């Protein structure tokens, strides 16, 4: 039985997105204190636990399903030379898929937008090199570009092979194929559309 996502999203992910959306609204009307507090309120430990269960030890990536004729792992020299699509294709992917994970459907935020908010609220939006030093909601709601046939297995940067995914769905599958991960093909479902704008309206 194929599933749409590796792990069901928890309600707190949506709650955090709502708080961050309110934070941006507060910021845009000049209420910096309120924006700061809301960003901090979205940094929920239960979200970090959810994320860790996907990409941490024992996560789905470490438990491939046995499949007949698995795609081989290619040596680095035989993989698509460009690791990620160029900017024009990334823009096209965002236009096509919007600001929700194509697997679990949670709202997502581009790294560039996170960086702009962080520059304005460096204390509230904590972001270090280690996972535990990163704001739990910005970490889980991180918009990434996920290769359906993994790059390491010969996947290309053709837009047909790449979807918008949250960072936990992307890293939770790592280099497994959809079949090995027991996932349904997200291209067979419509992308989620909502009022969520990925916080793109944030301006300093
Ligand atoms: Zn996801």
Task: Report the separation in Å between the CA atom of 96 and the middle of ligand 1, taken as the mean of its atom positions.
Answer: 16
* pLDDT band at residue 193 using 50, 70 and 90 as cut-offs: very high
Report pLDDT for 105: 98
> What is the CA(99)–ligand 1 centre distance, in A?
11
pLDDT of residue 80: 83
Distance (angstroms) between ligand 1 centre and the Cα of 186 equals 11
Dist. CA 147 → ligand 1 center (Å): 13
Per the structure block, which two tokens stand in for 55? Answer: 């990409």
pLDDT the model gives residue 52 = 97
CA dihedral over 58, 4, 108, 144, signed as positive or negative:
positive
Residue 157, pLDDT score = 95
The total of other beta-carbon atoms located within 10 Å of residue 61's CB is 18
Q: Indicate whether 147 pLDDT > 90.
A: yes
**Phi, psi at residue 69, to the nearest 5°?**
50, 60
**pLDDT (0 to 100) of residue 100:** 98
pTM of this prediction exceeds 0.75: yes
Q: How far apart are CA 87 and CA 144, in angstroms?
A: 13
Report the C-alpha gap between 131 and 141 in whole angstroms.
14
Query: 152-170: per-residue pLDDT in tens?
Result: 999 999 999 999 999 999 9
Tell me how far the alpha carbon of residue 31 lies from the centroid of ligand 1, in angstroms.
31
Query: If you measure from the C-alpha of residue 107 to the centroid of ligand 1, how many angstroms do you get, rounded to a whole number?
Result: 9
pLDDT in tens, 113-134: 999 999 999 999 999 999 999 9
DSSP calls for 86-114: -HHHHHHHHHHH-SB-TTT--B-B-HHHH
pLDDT in tens, 15-37: 999 999 999 999 999 999 999 99
For residue range 59-88, list pLDDT tens digits in order: 999 999 999 999 999 998 888 888 899 999
Show the CA angle centred on residue 85, arms to residues 69 and 78, nearest 5°: 45
**pLDDT score of 45:** 98
């Amino acid at each position: 039985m194929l599933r749409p996502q590796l792990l069901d999203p928890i309600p707190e992910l949506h709650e955090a997105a709502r708080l961050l959306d309110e934070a941006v609204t507060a910021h845009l009307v000049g209420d910096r204190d309120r924006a700061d507090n809301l960003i901090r309120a979205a940094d929920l430990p239960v979200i970090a636990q959810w994320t860790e269960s996907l990409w941490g030890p024992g996560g789905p990536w470490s438990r491939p399903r046995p499949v007949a004729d698995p795609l081989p792992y290619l040596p680095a020299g035989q993989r698509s030379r460009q690791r990620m699509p160029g900017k024009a294709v990334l823009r096209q992917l965002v236009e096509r898929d919007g600001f929700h994970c194509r697997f679990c459907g949670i709202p997502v935020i581009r790294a560039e937008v996170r960086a702009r908010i962080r520059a304005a609220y460096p204390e509230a939006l904590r972001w270090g090199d280690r996972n535990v030093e990163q704001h739990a909601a910005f970490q889980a709601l991180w918009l990434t570009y996920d290769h359906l046939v993994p790059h390491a297995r010969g996947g290309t940067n053709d837009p047909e092979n790449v979807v918008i995914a949250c960072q936990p769905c992307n890293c939770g599958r790592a280099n497994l194929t959809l079949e090995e991960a027991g996932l349904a093909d997200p291209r067979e479902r419509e992308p989620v559309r909502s009022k969520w704008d990925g916080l793109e309206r944030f301006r300093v």
